[in-house]
Structure 1
Amino acid sequence: MEPVKRLTIDIPESLHRRVKTACAIEDLVMADVVREMLDQRFPEPKPKSLPLVVETEAQKHDEA
């Protein structure tokens, strides 16, 4: 498992109440919902792929 870091943010009480209520109704954990939202907003960067090199018939004959 990857090491974790704590993130503390201040949000308005009304927002906190709405999120907490919705999570309770849906049987969700607030931290899981926030992690999911952050992961969707900031997805893991995709590794850059190397360019595909295609050798033509002419190049094959030039090397011979």
Structure 2
Amino acid sequence: MSRELRMSVTLDRILKFEASLAVARTGIPDDVDPILWEAQIAGMESMLESLRREYEELPPAQP
């Protein structure tokens, strides 16, 4: 996969995770245990951080 494509795919995933987290943080659904909801949010935050690191660590463009 080319660097540009990897950057594009990773950035798209970052944006989707950010949007999902924003929605998730608006409140806990009535049918979900608050502890489980917080664990889910923590997992999403961890994945988002991993994606951000992956994006930052992509090799530089070749001249």
- TM-score, length of structure 2 as denominator length: 0.31
Report the structure, 1 or 2, having the larger helix content: 2
Greater C-alpha Rg: 1
